[in-house]
């Protein structure tokens, strides 16, 4: 019996096989929580964002005729305590135009845009969007009224 085949039997370890899905599940849950914490810190570095106070001037603008016109708006951005907020980005858009600016140390930015009221339309509105780090985004529709000629009412 020289050519005798050796048969190897593997030991069964049932506890390792049964514990593996549980360890994978726990690792997956802990990893997901860590990933969510990292992403929320990167995307929104402030846990409790503050509100902003926005003022735009003028709130009513008069344009002449139906040709596109360049208009300027002054946007003031303050924090909830009334102090100027620098570095806030403001976008004013509508009536075929859009303009943006970033607030300075006094919380002020000038936004220029080209708007147009078509023939037969005598009024329109502009929207504003302001964003700043650690502050709740401010968006307001129809904040500025644009009228044609002297039809201010």
Q: Can you give the CATH number for the domain in which 80 is found?
A: 2.60.40.10
**Does residue 2 fall inside a structural domain?**
no
Number of separate domains in the chain:
1
Residue 72 belongs to some domain of the structure: yes
Structure confidence by residue, pLDDT tens digits, 59-82: 999 988 888 899 999 999 999 899
pLDDT in tens, 7-55: 555 555 555 555 667 778 888 899 999 998 888 777 766 778 889 999 9
Residue 47 maps to a domain:
no
Cα(127)–Cα(150) distance, integer angstroms: 22
Give the span between the Cα atoms of 87 and 78, in whole angstroms. 11
Q: Write down the pLDDT at residue 153.
A: 47
Question: Is position 75 within any domain?
Answer: yes
Q: Is residue 87 part of a domain?
A: yes
In a domain, 103, yes or no: yes
Structural domain harbouring 66: 52-148
Indicate whether 88 belongs to any domain: yes
């Amino acid at each position: 019996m020289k050519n005798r085949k050796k048969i190897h039997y593997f030991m069964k370890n049932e506890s390792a096989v049964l514990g593996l899905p549980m360890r994978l599940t726990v690792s997956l849950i802990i990893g997901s929580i860590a990933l969510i914490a990292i992403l929320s810190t990167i995307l929104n570095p402030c846990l409790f964002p503050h509100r902003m106070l926005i003022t735009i001037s003028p709130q009513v603008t008069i344009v002449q005729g139906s040709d596109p016109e360049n208009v300027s708006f002054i946007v003031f951005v303050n924090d909830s305590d009334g102090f100027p907020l620098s570095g806030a980005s403001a976008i004013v858009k509508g009536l075929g135009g859009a303009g943006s600016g970033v607030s300075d140390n006094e919380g002020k930015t000038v936004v220029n845009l080209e708007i147009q009221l078509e023939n037969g339309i005598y009024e329109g509105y502009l929207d504003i969007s302001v964003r700043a780090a650690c502050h709740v985004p401010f968006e307001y529709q129809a904040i500025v009224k644009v009228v044609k000629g002297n039809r201010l009412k």
